[in-house]
Structure 1
Amino acid sequence: GWDLDELRSVQDFQVKYALNGVEGVSEVASIGGMVREYQVDVDPEALKAFGIGIHQVMQAVRNSNRDAGAKTIEVNQVEYLVRGLGYIRSVEDLEQAVVAVNDNVPLRIRDVARVTLGPATRRGLLDKGGAEVSGGVVIARYGANPLATIQAVKDKIAEIAPGLPSKVLDDGRVSQLTIVPFYDRTQLIQETLGTLEEALSLEVLITIIVILVMVAEL
């Protein structure tokens, strides 16, 4: 099946951004699953041996995960924007980050720490039918029409559903990710509007009866 970190990645980088662009949506908060992160386990003995502080390792991690702008370069009267792509793409990229240089020899993160890709610390989970899943809470913008927003979200889900990832399981079956509604406020809103409409109708009827009685007594 699907790992929890795979489900969360699809939620964070595909579903969330798609639903954020829907008219009337203020925010999409991801819940459940596991967030992938690069974890650097520092070796205190190695730090001591090389005379390196933990703050230097932290700074090396920051410096290794950012882009750098280099202004422009002109070729044949045409200017080209130069940009250095420096975002981390793998564990090896982070391991190669330079912490310090001693006698023209670079000291890299891999020399003083172990880098792995693992789950971030979790504060909760999302359960659906007894199985742990990943999902998102769609928050409507203040003042937006809730029914219209919900319908727009449903339309967007139907639009992006065919493009969700699939994978071949060990037994040869193809598993296709799907989006399943967890809590839909449509019925609640319709029932509330129905109750309000009934109450207003009764108030109007009572008002008419009172007016007729007062007119009859004149």
Structure 2
Amino acid sequence: MPDFSLETEHGGRVAGVDEAGCGPLAGPVVAAAVVFGSGVPADLALVIDDSKVLKAARREDIVRRLPSVPGIEIGIGAASVAEILTLNILRAAQLAMRRAVGRLPAPPALALVDGNRVPDFGGVPVRTLVGGDAISLSIAAASILAKVTRDRIMKRLDQRWPGYGWAGNAGYGTAAHRTAITVQGCTPHHRRGFGTVRKQLALILTQGDPA
């Protein structure tokens, strides 16, 4: 389970930063930054964990509770499908994280970032942590916020663009989602630069060729 030792060790305002949505075939990449300015309540620290190991209901419950934590600061940022196509997914994810940090009330004294690449946060010192969402409570909270925010976005998009199963698959390349691309084509929210999407679009051309 993650803990608050790195944040306590630093002694200043430490932001945990993480993103969600690098792998899907559709939708934006979303990032969150979280500062627990007065520490993490003990009952909440017991349930915050890497978003990938939590069930959806537990993630939603944590996100509902976070705004009421004394001293907490939250920033959310995203990068669009167009930006993913222009920048590539890695740079778009870093852009989303930079936007999330920029939406905190003030720059943190340190940013703890999940992963091994150092984003540019405009002079904010950065410490990267591989598997950071299983180490730092601030990063874990950011991972949960980013995941829940993105899932909610994909559920709304699913209502406007039905047939791809986004409410359930969050835009990831499930078999049903890939098949839907070959049947229905792409939406403006698909990442056309991704190889899997190009492959599914190529199947449409093959199926339409009488030869």
Taking structure 1 as the reference length, what is the TM-score of the superposition? 0.25
**Which structure features the higher share of strand residues?**
1
Taking structure 2 as the reference length, what is the TM-score of the superposition? 0.26
- Work out which of the two has the higher radius of gyration on C-alpha atoms and give 1 or 2: 1
**Which structure features the higher share of helix residues?**
2
